[in-house]
Structure 1
Amino acid sequence: MRDCPRLFISPETTAPMASGGMLDLEPGQAHYLGTVMRQQVGAAVTVFNARDGEWRGVIDHLRRDRCRIRLTERTRAPRPTPGLGLLFAPLKRDATETVIRMGTELGVTHFRPVVSERTNTHRINAARLESIAIEAAEQCERLDVPVIDPLADLPLVLSRWPDGVSLFAALERSEAPATPVAARPGDCVLIGPEGGFSPREHDILRGHASVRPLSLGELVLRADTAAAAALALVGAGLKAV
């Protein structure tokens, strides 16, 4: 367990971090430190983002929804995350949030929710999912927060798929063993909805030049379980490339 709270700082709304610099937190973060974590002036805090890396600081001012951090030293330099993209059909609320949380912990850099023929949910709460991704990034100690795209139709996404990027599609009821596959950073994983892909979608996927069928074993998994299993298999292959 970390010895101090760890908070994501949006690079879009703050100046670059520097030793001795002052950083004003968002009201929600101030509330979290003061009310939830019961921190006081002088307590240590860790802040991070992909632009500035990870910094140690101390609370200089804290009152209700206002908090100022004095930065002391950088503990980790910024570096890219050699992760994967994840295409997934939105699930029921809790399951979708689980996919975002687990995917962030497993190194997903880009979430792309897609609508397939058997997708049951055709809306996503983008702000809520971003909050889940930030919380997961804070907890798992990564430096960046994954991007979450707007919802898009799967056929449209496939028609615009870039050359040279592999799409590992988890196709159910495969008898092949579930083993790690060779992948490159930036490749993507595709998980279907609760009811699986339709026969027509199976044909389209198997005929697509960039799709690589991915086996998750003989058992039929829940969609959120399948996402974690697929990311673990393809992510393990990243280390060998």
Structure 2
Amino acid sequence: MRANYKLQRLFMPHDLGPGAAFEADRAQSHYLAHVLRMGEGAELLVFNGRDGEWRARVAAVSKKGVRLAVEHAERPQPPAPDLVYAFAPLKVGRLDYMVQKAVEMGAGVLQPVVTQHTQVTRPPLEKMQANMIEAAEQCGVLSIPLLRPPVKLDLLLAGWEKDRRLVFCNESAGTNDPLAALRAVTEAKIGVLVGPEGGFSDEERRLLTAQPFVTAIPLGPRILRADTAAVAALALVQATLGDWRDQAG
């Protein structure tokens, strides 16, 4: 069932169900009352990543905040996406974009990875979480991805699930066509790895290609920025191995 884009959507951490009522937090209360100028009786959609999507109504507006009353279910909670997106964090701005697009493209886990050329070794996890929620609110997504703490590339590979294929974007591939490599993948569980602006080092590429669960793909004949490469890689994987293909079939 597709999202209702006519109503405002907000992520709420509270349990949702018939008759539930709660106060929006300070920032959300300000947004509802002073930005959207919602009064008593106004309708909106709320979700928490666990209980599906529910239609709610503004029950009261006061100096303390906005109180919401949950009325009825709009969409059931779908299974969380299983796609793991691993990436070298970028500088603020481009990292915001990358995180938002990963949510839109159906990532279920976001895993920051520290490589030799990583620009930001301590990414702002709290801000990344806020960006994931904002993207979910705007795009009808009901499951907020799991955001893991940063890990070094060698430790990521050492702890990787052996039955999950890891697709990594290799700018040194000898072809411009990624489809042949992706069509050869047989695993149902998939991960995608995108490197930093400077690319993977030669040592890192050797380490990656030595793993039996890794598939290297190119991203065409042009040099892509890391945030652009993220969107391109996720689109390719979803179209050939992921839920785009499943829905089409």
Query: TM-score, length-normalised on structure 2?
Result: 0.89
Contact 1:50 1:80 in 2 (8 A): no
Report how far residue 229 of structure 1 moved.
0.3
The one-character-per-residue Cα deviations of 1:57-114 (angstroms, maximum 9, x if unpaired) are 1100122451111111101011113341111111111111111011011111111001
Q: Distance in 1 between matches of 2:234 and 2:78?
A: 21
Q: What amino acid does structure 1 have at the position aligned with 2:74?
A: T
Q: Which residue of 2 aligns with 1:155?
A: 154
Deviates more, 1:63-72 or 1:118-127: 63-72
Q: Distance in 2 between matches of 1:144 and 1:21?
A: 20
Q: Distance in 1 between matches of 2:167 and 2:238?
A: 11
Deviates more, 1:174-183 or 1:130-139: 174-183
Report how far residue 215 of structure 1 moved.
1.9
Q: Which residue of 2 aligns with 1:92?
A: 91
Q: Runs (4+) of structure 1 moved beyond 4 Å?
A: 182-186
Report how far residue 201 of structure 1 moved.
0.6
The one-character-per-residue Cα deviations of 1:151-205 (angstroms, maximum 9, x if unpaired) are 1111111111111011100001432314383566642100000000000011111
Q: How do 1:128-143 residues align onto structure 2 when only pairs under 5 Å count?
A: 128-143=127-142
Unaligned ranges ≥5, structure 2? none
CA RMSD in angstroms comes to 1.8
Q: Which residue of 2 aligns with 1:144?
A: 143
Structure 2 CA distance for partners of 1:64 and 1:123, relative to 1, 3 Å? farther
1:236 correspondence with 2:239: yes
Q: Which residue of 2 aligns with 1:170?
A: 169
Q: How do 1:64-103 residues align onto structure 2 when only pairs under 5 Å count?
A: 64=63, 66-103=65-102
Q: How do 1:103-122 residues align onto structure 2 when only pairs under 5 Å count?
A: 103-122=102-121
Q: Distance in 2 between matches of 1:101 and 1:83?
A: 17
1:26 correspondence with 2:25: yes
Q: Give aligned pairs, total.
A: 237
Q: Distance in 2 between matches of 1:234 and 1:65?
A: 47
> Which one of the candidate residues 201, 221, 224 is aligned to 1:221?
224
The one-character-per-residue Cα deviations of 1:211-240 (angstroms, maximum 9, x if unpaired) are 111221121210000000000000112144
> Which one of the candidate residues 166, 190, 204 is aligned to 2:193?
190
Structure 2 CA distance for partners of 1:107 and 1:118, relative to 1, 3 Å? same
Q: Which residue of 2 aligns with 1:206?
A: 209
Q: Distance in 1 between matches of 2:157 and 2:203?
A: 14
Structure 2 CA distance for partners of 1:7 and 1:168, relative to 1, 3 Å? same
Residue identity (%): 35
Unaligned ranges ≥5, structure 1? none
Q: How do 1:45-64 residues align onto structure 2 when only pairs under 5 Å count?
A: 45-64=44-63
SS of the equivalent of 2:30 reads helix
Deviates more, 1:166-175 or 1:193-202: 166-175
Q: What amino acid does structure 1 have at the position aligned with 2:204?
A: E
Q: How do 1:7-18 residues align onto structure 2 when only pairs under 5 Å count?
A: 7-10=10-13, 14=14, 16-18=15-17
1:123 correspondence with 2:126: no
SS of the equivalent of 2:161 reads coil
Query: TM-score, length-normalised on structure 1?
Result: 0.92
